[in-house]
């Protein structure tokens, strides 16, 4: 099999797996990923999940084989460890990322305090802490998330390095330089895979940074992707699938792996 695709960056929830419909996992999609891997392509899952939550997802949904790389919490880059069932940081990216975030969270303290006040007084959203540090929040619904994001946008005007990743009712604070697109760019740099050979697929706000055409020349989304994602993919000359979830990823892979036998 010969195809342009050398690196796949695929979101997990809502893209590769469906939590709301059957099948959870599209067998044809997984088979095609397997064939691409056998032909030399590398497969990365690019997710908002932590390493542990992704591992339980891979187990719970019965993944038939493992990805080559995992990009977790919308920022960290891992490759397989010596023992193939473990993950190790790839390069020094995760270290730099952790340092930049530690600096960010101490310098943006007052902005975050404003957000905490707003969220606890004006919404029913739940704040999430990692030890003492505010990590993010979970809104009750999309409408509440819209109001919270509006507030954060105003509050962060004085601190543009403070950004956030939004995925359905989940929000995670982050440094503006770190997102799925940046993590993918670092992985591609380490692997020396050019933009032209990168396929990416995702369904929500936090995926847009890898679907705007800057990092991956083959961006795509399944039909269940939110409108903003579909627009970003179209604007980047990518492929918006007619099918949902894994079946949509399969459709997009076939589209880009044109001429694949």
Closer Cβ to Mg ion, 11 or 76, answer by number:
11
Q: Tokens 């994001």 sit at which residue?
A: 149
Interatomic CA distance for residues 10 and 16, integer angstroms: 7
State in angstroms the smallest separation of the CB of 204 from Mg ion.
5
- The reply on whether position 244 binds Mg ion by CB under 5 A is no
Closer Cβ to Mg ion, 185 or 221, answer by number:
221
Interatomic CA distance for residues 17 and 59, integer angstroms: 12
Interatomic CA distance for residues 27 and 35, integer angstroms: 12
- Token readout for 97 is 């990322």
Residues in 45-104 that interact with Mg ion by CB under 5 A: none
Number of residues that bind Mg ion (CB under 5 A): 5
State in angstroms the smallest separation of the CB of 184 from Mg ion.
15
Q: In what order do the strands lie in the sheet with 126-130?
A: 126-130, 133-138, 170-175, 162-167
State in angstroms the smallest separation of the CB of 12 from Mg ion.
7
- The reply on whether position 172 binds Mg ion by CB under 5 A is no
State in angstroms the smallest separation of the CB of 74 from Mg ion.
11
Q: Which residues contact 181 (CB under 8 A, 6 or more apart)?
A: 208, 209, 210, 212, 214, 215
Q: Work out which of 74, 203, 244, 251 binds Mg ion, going by CB under 5 A.
A: 203
Site string for Mg ion, 7-26 (x = CB under 5 A): ----x-xx------------
State in angstroms the smallest separation of the CB of 165 from Mg ion.
11
Q: Work out which of 204, 222, 238, 251 binds Mg ion, going by CB under 5 A.
A: 204
What string of DSSP letters covers 132-158?
TEEEEEE-SSHHHHHHHHHHHHHHGGG
Binding site for Mg ion (CB under 5 A): 11, 13-14, 203-204
């Amino acid at each position: 099999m010969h195809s342009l695709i050398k690196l796949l960056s695929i979101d997990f929830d809502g893209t590769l797996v469906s939590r709301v419909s059957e099948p959870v996992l599209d067998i044809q999609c997984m088979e095609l990923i397997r064939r691409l891997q056998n032909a030399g392509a590398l497969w990365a899952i690019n997710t908002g999940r932590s390493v542990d939550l992704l591992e339980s997802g891979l187990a719970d949904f019965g993944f038939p084989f493992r990805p080559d790389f995992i990009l977790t919490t919308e920022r960290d880059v891992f490759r397989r460890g010596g023992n193939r069932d473990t993950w190790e940081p790839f390069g020094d990216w995760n270290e730099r990322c952790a340092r930049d975030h530690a600096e960010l969270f101490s310098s943006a303290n007052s902005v975050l305090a404003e957000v905490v006040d707003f969220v606890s007084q004006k919404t029913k959203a739940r704040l999430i802490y990692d030890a003492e540090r505010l990590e993010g929040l979970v809104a009750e619904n999309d409408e509440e998330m819209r109001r919270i994001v509006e507030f954060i946008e105003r509050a962060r005007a004085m601190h543009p390095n403070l950004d956030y990743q939004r995925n359905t009712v989940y929000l995670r604070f982050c440094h503006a330089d770190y997102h799925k697109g940046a993590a993918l760019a670092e992985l591609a740099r380490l692997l020396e895979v050019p933009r032209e050979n990168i396929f990416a697929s995702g369904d929500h706000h936090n995926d847009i940074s890898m679907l705007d055409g800057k990092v991956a020349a083959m961006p795509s989304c399944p039909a269940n992707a939110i409108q903003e994602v579909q627009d970003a993919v179209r604007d980047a000359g990518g492929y918006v699938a007619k099918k949902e979830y894994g079946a949509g990823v399969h459709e997009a892979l076939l589209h880009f792996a044109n001429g694949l036998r």
